[in-house]
Structure 1
């Protein structure tokens, strides 16, 4: 119940942010998708310390019926089956109510390519995340440059402009 309430609050805040940015005629989410994949982390050294750093997501997004919606990859970018792409830039982040899950995000489109499904997406919301957090161990001098792939799931909402 706590996660459902937190999810509802986050989506309402995200929607309010989008509505405020778009003015009073904000449209409802154009696309809702379930993302399943991995967060890819690289072991890096900085000032004598070692830490896992996010390299890129690698996920597939599907609708409620299991149909492919988009591929999610570095950028962060989302490419629909029709080839259109939206690239986002973070607007805000909120820690997930699940300590073992990556943050919930609101992103604004910073670029588009193609004329299909993603061409007029202006905001992307990532919510209800599960997993995906970088490991707390295993990154040291012997593993610099190494990668780990951490499974995650999330709900993505795409708002049109």
Structure 2
């Protein structure tokens, strides 16, 4: 009986310890912006509200350069991505224009770009945007800033863009972490 009681007490303590560790995962972010360029850091007085991984595609279109009709370039048309938790559960989507982040709870937010910073060859830039007031009740309520970090891919196609393929569209794959911030 003593042996059984000791095992039960040990299991209970380990369960409580595990639950304690799990509960702190939800309330404290492991995310740090210390390694980011200052231009895309969120100002003091804000805290991480949600971390997501955006996985999807960006569409580009071959168009005449603005004010230079004889020259052509790939122009960003818009993103289409799923927003996932770090464990891969889809919790929303991101599309545009305008850039819109929507949670599965129906709340959504648009934003205005404040700054970008290089993210390495072949990757779309890091980005900081200021959120507009959210619509719908849910996770996006109160979001003040959104950072795009840890970008992979997403740059304009390397194939030629000229008069012969004017108006054609190309889709490229990308991934980025979207970090949502609220006032502290």
The TM tier, using the shorter chain, reads 0.7 to 0.9
Q: Secondary structure at the match of 1:142?
A: helix
**Equivalent residues in 2 for 1:5-44, closer than 5 Å:** 8-10=34-36, 14-15=40-41, 17-19=42-44, 26-44=45-63
Selected match of 1:115 from 115, 129, 137:
137
Conserved? CA contact 1:18–1:123, under 8 Å: no
Selected match of 1:60 from 79, 82, 86:
82
> Which has more strand, going by share of residues?
1
Greater Rg, structure 1 or structure 2? 2
Deviation at 1:8, TM superposition (A): 4.5
Selected match of 2:173 from 128, 151, 156:
151
Q: Secondary structure at the match of 2:35?
A: helix
Over residues 110-154 of structure 1, what are the superposed CA-to-partner deviations in whole Å (9 max), with x where a residue is unaligned? Answer: 242111111211100001101000013331112111111110111
CA–CA separation in structure 1 for the residues paired with 2:150 and 2:113: 17
Gaps of 5+ in 1: 1-6, 20-25
CA–CA separation in structure 2 for the residues paired with 1:13 and 1:149: 29
Q: Are residues 139 and 13 of structure 1, via their aligned partners in 2, closer, same or farther at CA, if it must alter by over 3 Å?
A: closer
Q: Secondary structure at the match of 1:9?
A: coil
Structure of higher RCO (CA pairs closer than 8 Å, 6+ residues apart): 1
CA–CA separation in structure 2 for the residues paired with 1:11 and 1:155: 16
Conserved? CA contact 1:11–1:127, under 8 Å: no
Deviation at 1:45, TM superposition (A): 0.9
Gaps of 5+ in 2: 1-32
**Equivalent residues in 2 for 1:72-83, closer than 5 Å:** 72-74=94-96, 75-83=98-106
Give the TM-score normalised by structure 2. Answer: 0.74
Runs (4+) of structure 1 exceeding 2 A deviation are 11-15
Give the TM-score normalised by structure 1. Answer: 0.84
